[in-house]
């Protein structure tokens, strides 16, 4: 009798936990999560929207180049000889981010600072330590249901990453490029509801966006973009 009650209590707990998960999550998680990318950030980047709007005429006359990070070429993460993660140079994402924001007159991606004739040059480097945390409740539920929960997209873990991003801005309007400002931004990002159909990408444009926003704010405020012509 005691064992029956224990099994009944265990089954009830698993059922209640599963119900909570089902209520909390959309049923079509293999479609919803890759689009929504439900997550949270620890950083609250400074807003540069009003600053850009108030100085739009000046910023539209500026050309900006994003300098590639050569150390990212061919970067691949390997575990026991197998490639488990690849990443694009974060400066490629930064250049695309600046184009989408439409702050400056033009944005280009360059290989060498010596070959640039743009007014300003920015380059960044971002690294993160990421962690995948197993959801014990959902793991047990999937074991009890012989994996049915995984098949229909129930999540079995959450992912998190701690980011460190650095950027350097050069004023290239004089005889040579001069460093005018730089910034360091930190962010702790947590993704919810990972499942077998979706795993967050730790180095894509969405993951790095909060860092980019802080870097651009620093560039506008302390990089000399809002001043007059060059030397």
Strands (E), the chain: 39-41, 63-67, 76-79, 82-86, 106-110, 120-134, 157-171, 178-194
Q: What is the CA radius of gyration of the chain?
A: 23
Is residue 12 included in any domain, yes or no? yes
Confidence of residue 156 (pLDDT cuts 50, 70, 90): low
Is residue 193 included in any domain, yes or no? yes
Hey, is 57 helix, strand or coil? helix
The pLDDT score that the predictor gives to residue 12 is: 55
Is residue 231 included in any domain, yes or no? no
Hey, is 71 helix, strand or coil? helix
Instruction: Say if CB 112 and CB 123 are below 8 A apart.
Output: no
In this structure, of 13-22, 34-43, 63-72, 157-166, the range with the lowest mean pLDDT score is: 13-22
The packing angle between helices 90-101 and 205-222, to 10°, is: 70
Is residue 74 included in any domain, yes or no? yes
In a 10 Å sphere around its CB, with 0-12 CB exposed, 13-18 middle and 19+ buried, how is residue 111 labelled? exposed
49 vs 19, higher pLDDT: 49
Instruction: Say if CB 224 and CB 109 are below 8 A apart.
Output: no
Pairwise CA distance, residues 42 & 63, whole Å: 32
Separation in Å, CA 185 to CA 15, 55, 149, 215: 42, 24, 38, 7
Is residue 63 included in any domain, yes or no? yes
Confidence of residue 142 (pLDDT cuts 50, 70, 90): confident
Pairwise CA distance, residues 16 & 189, whole Å: 28
Hey, is 10 helix, strand or coil? helix
- Domain holding 93, by residue range, is 2-222
How many Cβ atoms from other residues are within 10 Å of residue 6's Cβ? 10
31 vs 159, higher pLDDT: 159
57-66: pLDDT as tens digits: 999 999 999 9
Is residue 36 included in any domain, yes or no? yes
Instruction: Say if CB 119 and CB 173 are below 8 A apart.
Output: yes
The pLDDT score that the predictor gives to residue 95 is: 97
Is residue 228 included in any domain, yes or no? no
The pLDDT score that the predictor gives to residue 194 is: 75
Mean pLDDT, to the nearest integer, of 135-158?
71
Q: Looking at residue 119, what DSSP letter applies?
A: S
Q: How far is CA 167 from the centre of its chain?
A: 15
Is residue 128 included in any domain, yes or no? yes
Instruction: Say if CB 59 and CB 216 are below 8 A apart.
Output: no
Confidence of residue 230 (pLDDT cuts 50, 70, 90): very low
In this structure, of 27-36, 131-140, 179-188, the range with the lowest mean pLDDT score is: 27-36
Domain count, the chain: 1
């Amino acid at each position: 009798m005691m064992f029956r009650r224990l099994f009944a209590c265990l089954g009830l707990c698993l059922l209640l936990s599963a119900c909570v998960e089902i209520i909390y999550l959309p049923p079509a998680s293999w479609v919803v999560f890759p689009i929504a990318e439900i997550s949270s950030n620890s950083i609250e980047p400074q807003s540069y929207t009003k600053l850009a709007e108030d100085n739009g005429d000046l910023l539209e006359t500026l050309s900006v180049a994003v300098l590639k990070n050569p150390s990212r070429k061919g970067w691949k993460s390997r575990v026991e000889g197998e490639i488990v993660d690849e990443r694009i140079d974060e400066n490629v994402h930064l250049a695309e981010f600046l184009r989408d924001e439409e702050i400056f007159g033009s944005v280009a991606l360059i290989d060498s600072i010596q070959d640039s004739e743009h007014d300003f040059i920015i380059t960044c480097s971002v690294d993160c330590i990421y962690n995948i945390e197993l959801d014990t409740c959902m793991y047990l539920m999937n074991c009890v249901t012989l994996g049915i929960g995984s098949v229909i997209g129930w999540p079995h873990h959450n992912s998190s990453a701690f980011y460190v991003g650095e950027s350097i801005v050069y004023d290239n309007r004089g005889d040579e490029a001069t460093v005018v400002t730089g910034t360091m931004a930190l962010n702790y990002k947590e993704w919810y509801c990972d499942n077998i159909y979706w795993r967050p990408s730790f180095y894509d444009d969405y993951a790095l966006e909060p860092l980019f926003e802080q870097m651009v704010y620093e560039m506008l405020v302390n990089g000399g973009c809002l001043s007059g012509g060059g030397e």
